[in-house]
Amino acid sequence: MSGPSVHALSPHPEERRRRVSLDHPSRRRCAAPQDEGSEEPKGHVMTDTPLLDVTDLATHFHARAGVVKAVDGVSFSLKRGEVMGLVGESGSGKSITGFSIIGLLDPPGRIERGSVKLEGRELVGLPPDELRAIRGKAISMVFQDPMMTLNPMLTIGDQIGLALEAHESVTGTERRQRAIAALAQVRIPDPQTKVDFYPHQFSGGMRQRVAIAIALLHRPRLIICDEPTTALDVSIQAEILAEMKELVAQLGTALIWISHDLATVASIADHVCVMRYGKIVEAGPVLQVLTRPQHPYTQGLLDSLPSRARPGAMLARGAGTDAAPPPRLPRQAESGHRRADLPYVVIETVGKRFQRKSGVLRLLAQKAGLVGPLPAVQAVDDVTLSIARGEALGLVGESGSGKSTLGRIVAGIYAPDSGQILLDGEPVMSPGERPHKITTRIQTIFQDPFASLNPRMRIGDSIAEGPLAHGLVGRAEAGTYVAQWLAAVGLDPAFAGRYPHQFSGGQRQRVAIARALAMQPRSTSRSRRRSSICCCGCGRNSA
């Protein structure tokens, strides 16, 4: 199926932008996308030509194991000020479409064919320095992990300054003022002070706001947001979504919003394109696609939404195709030893306080008796709960409510200050103690899979590393063992030879899950008694 022309389906995008401009006369100047410094071709009629015209775009990766057709003949166009949602399952080619548009592909990935035109100017095949001049200025990108944009060694003000200087010459004072204004624009409180902070001093939501501020710095005509709110908790997600909507409307910027979260797409996009296996399978106005989907795959995607689906129901990978469903995970609960009545993990009156560290000046002031120590933070306060075998417990709460700290105590990363953890009736952790002899039985899946995967190791080796070290598998059978776990999480066993960067975000998370689950002793009668638990911090989305 050839990709549809999205803007042809749009009834009122220009009207939407005009209304915003009229509502905010003071902002009309910002709304003009053809600001100074534009790469606008001479004689170009701004209102008639699409801002972005993607035709038959194909991006392939030429790996040793074969060619991966990540994007396989995608076409769409976007007008000024339009917001397009790009949705689809993990690995469908959404991010690679974004990277191809902005010219951020690393070998062995390359654009095989097709065209990407920005206001009539062909971007495919442009020399790297010309692409660099466009990137960050005419088109910018916001990633799921703001740390992909931010340098931990530089203050926020310096980073915004560097991004400014990439395309403009500014004086030192101007640089600081513009950085403060950029932070204020994305509603960072007290920007005059925060401009001197380092990224680690900001919360995840604030860091993402800074990444958005940097993306908006040169008033780009197009912003590509790749899952920008997926890692944030729902309240911050909603705030950022609302602010982003307002900002793109103010600035007249077109937006491609890449997400697997149909709810955010419904709330921000005018149009939506649904991707699968590198192709667009359905496109149209967001309401039409989400309420009256035509393609069986889109119908499956919508049916798998938690609000509609039965508990535990998954989108069949074969929806809309003849593809076979993925192999199922080996479940210990099915081998007849689920004992839901007996608690397997007991967390008893657990508490944890963190003493906040004072800076050098405060320490000196403390020594001089001028101030007292900073108050301690009670991260976990008298928590008691239990989990039965085969049961999954969801721990939800707003940012800073203690979820991760409790998870880390159970995983043995922190010792509790009070209370105890019992595993199968045996105390495994008591105040002040380090955990012992439970490392193969408790595994953690982190929100960011990069945190658990060594970027220099093939993922097959990463998955086999722990089971080999703990004698769960011998060297001779390690390959088959890894293949079994890759298949169990719905990945092709041939991927064992890839490095972490060669996966999509969702695929990488599956690798991290396979790595954690591979630490389960196999189902021998002894190991059944010693089944494992996993602490997951995969995401904060309440859905």
Ligand X SMILES: Nc1ncnc2c1ncn2[C@@H]1O[C@H](COP(=O)(O)OP(=O)(O)OP(=O)(O)O)[C@@H](O)[C@H]1O
Tokens of 231: 């890692």
Of 390, 395, 386, 394, nearest in space to 340 by CA: 390
By a kind-dependent CB cut-off of 5 to 8 A, residue 109 interacts, out of Mg ion, ligand X, none, with ligand X
| Residue from 9, 63, 238, 346 binding ligand X (CB under 6 A) | 63
Tokens of 456: 């220099």
Residue 258: DSSP 8-state: E
Of 480, 350, 496, 467, nearest in space to 417 by CA: 350
Should residue 228 be labelled a site residue for Mg ion when binding is judged by CB under 5 A? no
| Residue from 7, 80, 94, 218 binding ligand X (CB under 6 A) | 94
* Amino acid at position 104, single letter: L
Distance CA 250, CA 253 (A): 8
Q: What are phi and psi of 287, to 5 degrees?
A: -65, -40
Q: From residue 504 to residue 533, what is the string marking binding to ligand X with x (rule CB under 6 A)?
A: xxxx--------------------------
By a kind-dependent CB cut-off of 5 to 8 A, residue 500 interacts, out of ligand X, Mg ion, none, with none
Q: How far is the CB of 536 from ligand X (least distance, A)?
A: 17
| Residue from 33, 419, 505, 521 binding Mg ion (CB under 5 A) | 505
Of 230, 231, 221, 27, nearest in space to 138 by CA: 221
Residue 18: DSSP 8-state: H
| Residue number with CB closer to ligand X (143 or 202) | 143
Should residue 293 be labelled a site residue for Mg ion when binding is judged by CB under 5 A? no
| Residue from 5, 90, 399, 532 binding ligand X (CB under 6 A) | 90
Should residue 502 be labelled a site residue for ligand X when binding is judged by CB under 6 A? yes
Should residue 405 be labelled a site residue for ligand X when binding is judged by CB under 6 A? no
Q: How far is the CB of 400 from Mg ion (least distance, A)?
A: 27
Query: Within 13 A of 380's CA, how many CA atoms are on the CB side?
Result: 27
Q: How far is the CB of 95 from Mg ion (least distance, A)?
A: 3
| Residue from 20, 58, 61, 185 binding ligand X (CB under 6 A) | 61
Of 101, 98, 119, 134, nearest in space to 33 by CA: 119
Three-state secondary structure call for residue 6: coil
Q: How far is the CB of 63 from ligand X (least distance, A)?
A: 5
Note the helical H segments in 418-542.
459-469, 478-488, 505-517, 525-529
| Residue number with CB closer to ligand X (53 or 261) | 261
Tokens of 153: 């060694």
Provide the 10 A C-beta neighbour count for residue 9: 14
* Interface segment toward ligand X; rule CB under 6 A; list 1-9, 43-51, 60-68, 133-141: 60-68
* Interface segment toward ligand X; rule CB under 6 A; list 41-49, 162-170, 232-240, 502-510: 502-510
Q: Does an H or E element contain 371, and which?
A: none
Cβ–Cβ under 8 Å, residues 521 and 472: yes
User: How far is residue 199 CA from its own chain's centroid?
Assistant: 18
Q: From residue 79 to residue 108, what is the string marking binding to Mg ion with x (rule CB under 5 A)?
A: ----------------x-------------
| Residue from 202, 344, 481, 503 binding ligand X (CB under 6 A) | 503
Beta pairing, strands 83-88 & 271-276:
parallel
| Residue from 10, 77, 95, 462 binding ligand X (CB under 6 A) | 95
Total of chain residues touching Mg ion, rule CB under 5 A = 3
Should residue 405 be labelled a site residue for Mg ion when binding is judged by CB under 5 A? no
By a kind-dependent CB cut-off of 5 to 8 A, residue 63 interacts, out of Mg ion, ligand X, none, with ligand X
Should residue 352 be labelled a site residue for ligand X when binding is judged by CB under 6 A? no
Should residue 207 be labelled a site residue for ligand X when binding is judged by CB under 6 A? no
Three-state secondary structure call for residue 36: coil
Three-state secondary structure call for residue 170: coil
| Cβ burial, residue 439 (10 Å; 0-12/13-18/19+) | middle
Residue 353, C-beta contacts closer than 8 angstroms, at least 6 positions apart: 376, 377, 378, 379, 417
Residue 378, strand partner residues: 353
Q: Phi/psi zone of residue 166: left (φ > 0), alpha (ψ -120 to 50 degrees), beta?
A: alpha
By a kind-dependent CB cut-off of 5 to 8 A, residue 199 interacts, out of ligand X, Mg ion, none, with none
Q: How far is the CB of 6 from ligand X (least distance, A)?
A: 18
Residue 488: DSSP 8-state: H
By a kind-dependent CB cut-off of 5 to 8 A, residue 440 interacts, out of ligand X, Mg ion, none, with none
| Residue number with CB closer to Mg ion (288 or 504) | 504
Should residue 395 be labelled a site residue for ligand X when binding is judged by CB under 6 A? no
| Residue number with CB closer to Mg ion (485 or 503) | 503
| Residue from 260, 279, 408, 441 binding ligand X (CB under 6 A) | 260
Should residue 140 be labelled a site residue for ligand X when binding is judged by CB under 6 A? no
| Residue number with CB closer to ligand X (390 or 493) | 493
Orientation of helix 13-23 relative to helix 234-251, angle to 10°: 90
| Residue from 78, 96, 186, 255 binding ligand X (CB under 6 A) | 96
Q: How far is the CB of 136 from Mg ion (least distance, A)?
A: 20
Q: How far is the CB of 315 from Mg ion (least distance, A)?
A: 17
Q: What are phi and psi of 94, to 5 degrees?
A: -65, -55
Binding site for Mg ion (CB under 5 A): 95, 504-505
Binding site for ligand X (CB under 6 A): 61, 63, 68, 70, 88, 90-96, 109, 260, 501-507
